[in-house]
Amino acid sequence: MEGKTHHTQVQSRTQVLNAFMQGIYRWMGAGLALTAGAAYFTASSPGMMALVFGNPMVLFGLIAVELGLVLAVSAGISRMSGATATGLFLFYSTLNGITLSAVLSVYTPASVVSTFIVCAGMFGAMSLYGMTTSKDLTGWGSFLFMGLIGIILAMVVNIFIQSPMIDFVVSGLGVLIFVGLTAYDTQKLTRMGESAPMDDATAVRRGTILGALTLYLDFINLFLFLLHFLGQMRE
């Protein structure tokens, strides 16, 4: 009887983990779809492009709001309802699509699509690795975080230096860092799912949205760094 009860508990825990991870990828996919749709709509509208990129204050305002939304969801997720967290994530994804519409005006549509496919393959492979590996990736966290800070500082410096070599090196390191973060974050989220409360739907929903935001950011940044190598400029 005890063995049967234990087996049932294991099954329930596995079902919760599967539902948790499926929810993360489902909401992440919804965020990416909104971003792509908003980017295409903005890039196709001369009025929108003029509004967003014709006035630096509008663009900086959008970027500031995006940063605020990421911080709000990341830091305040435990105090939000599931619906609020979901709404903020989807709103952020839409705003990000508006600001990323510049990508569609700079690179050819074919190269953007091909880069997206490559990015999806790399992301999928590393996310699967993070979910299934028995290796503890916790030690990667501090190393990847230091690398991320390093490339951010290098990008800021290169705004003034305008060195193609620094840009190339930063792009290469950016790809490596976000490939690593994809595996690291997926394993962290898998462990979160393994301990998710089975009787608290709100907590699970908040966890899936936080996880979706985390992996969404990994995917978007990996995509942007890959574009430096695979993207073809419009003539």
In the chain the first and final C-alpha atoms are separated, in Å, by 72
> Can you give the pLDDT at residue 217?
95
CA proximity to 95, closest of 117, 62, 68, 118: 62
pLDDT attached to residue 205: 86
User: What's the pLDDT at 232?
Assistant: 86
Per-residue pLDDT of the chain (235 residues; tens, 9 = 90+): 545 554 445 556 677 788 888 999 999 999 999 999 999 999 999 999 999 998 889 989 999 999 999 999 988 888 888 899 999 999 999 999 999 998 888 899 899 999 999 999 999 999 999 999 999 998 888 889 898 888 888 888 887 888 888 888 888 999 999 999 999 999 999 988 887 776 677 778 888 999 999 999 999 999 999 998 888 887 7
One-letter amino acid for residue 198 of the chain: M
pLDDT at 12: 63
**Domains identified in the chain, total number:** 1
Q: Is residue 118 part of a domain?
A: yes
Residue 7 pLDDT:
45
- Quick check: is 209 in a domain? yes
Closest to 66 (Cα-Cα) out of 108, 21, 99: 99
> What does 39-77 look like in DSSP terms, one character per residue?
HHHHHT-HHHHHHHHS-HHHHHHHHHHHHHHHHHHHHHG
Please report whether residue 105 resides in a domain.
Answer: yes
Q: Within a domain: residue 235? A: no
- 42 vs 57, 76, 100, 101, CA distance in Å? 17, 30, 9, 6
How crowded is the C-beta side of 20, counted as CA atoms within 13 Å?
A: 30
Q: Are 221 and 174 in contact (CB under 8 A)?
A: yes
Query: Cα(8)–Cα(12) distance, rounded to whole angstroms?
Result: 6
**Predicted local distance difference test score (pLDDT) of residue 88:** 94
| Residue 115 belongs to a domain | yes
Strand segments (E) across 130-202: none
**Partners of 233 in the beta sheet?**
107
Whether residue 167 is contained in a domain is answered as yes
Q: Which domain holds residue 53?
A: 2-230
Residue 13's pLDDT is 63
Cα–Cα–Cα angle for 190, 118, 207, rounded to 5 degrees: 25
C-alpha radius of gyration, the chain, whole number: 19
CA distance 132 to 93: 28
Question: Does any domain span residue 38?
Answer: yes
